[in-house]
């Protein structure tokens, strides 16, 4: 014969606070290269997004950054052009697939 459990009280659970980044290191090498290359604003935005995601994933011990439209907030054409610029400047390496 099974024993009935007392019904659980409806206690509101506190939502776990999301990991929010307060600051990120911006390597001087990246600043110099982006400045000298005179690249577009979308390339600068993507570079900053990559540094933020890199820091976030470093905290979670993940090795790869996925540059999706949701993460970058850029249009597909601008994202592709910015990625190509960063690869050309040897700031990032891209693994397709």
**Per-domain residue ranges of the chain:** 39-88
Contact predicate 49/73, CB 8 Å: yes
How remote is the C-alpha of 37 from its chain's centroid?
A: 23
What pLDDT sits at residue 51?
Answer: 83
Helix (H, G, I), strand (E, B) or coil at 41: helix
Q: Which residue has the tokens 């980044």?
A: 21
Q: Write out pLDDT tens, residues 25-79.
A: 788 888 888 888 888 888 888 888 888 888 777 777 667 777 778 878 888 888 8
pLDDT band at 22 (very low <50, low <70, confident <90, very high): confident
HSE (side-chain half, CA atoms, 13 Å) at 2: 3
Report how far residue 68's alpha carbon sits from residue 66's, in angstroms, rounded to the nearest whole number.
6
Structure tokens at 28: 């001087």
């Amino acid at each position: 014969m099974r024993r009935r459990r007392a019904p659980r009280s409806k206690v509101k659970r506190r939502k776990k606070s999301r990991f929010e980044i307060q600051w990120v290191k911006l390597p001087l090498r990246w600043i110099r290269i982006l400045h000298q290359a005179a690249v577009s604003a979308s390339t600068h935005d993507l570079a900053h997004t990559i540094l933020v995601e890199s820091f976030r994933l470093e905290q979670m011990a993940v090795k790869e950054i996925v540059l999706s439209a949701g993460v970058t907030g850029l249009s597909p054409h601008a994202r592709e052009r910015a990625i190509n610029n960063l690869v050309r400047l040897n700031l990032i390496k891209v693994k397709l697939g």
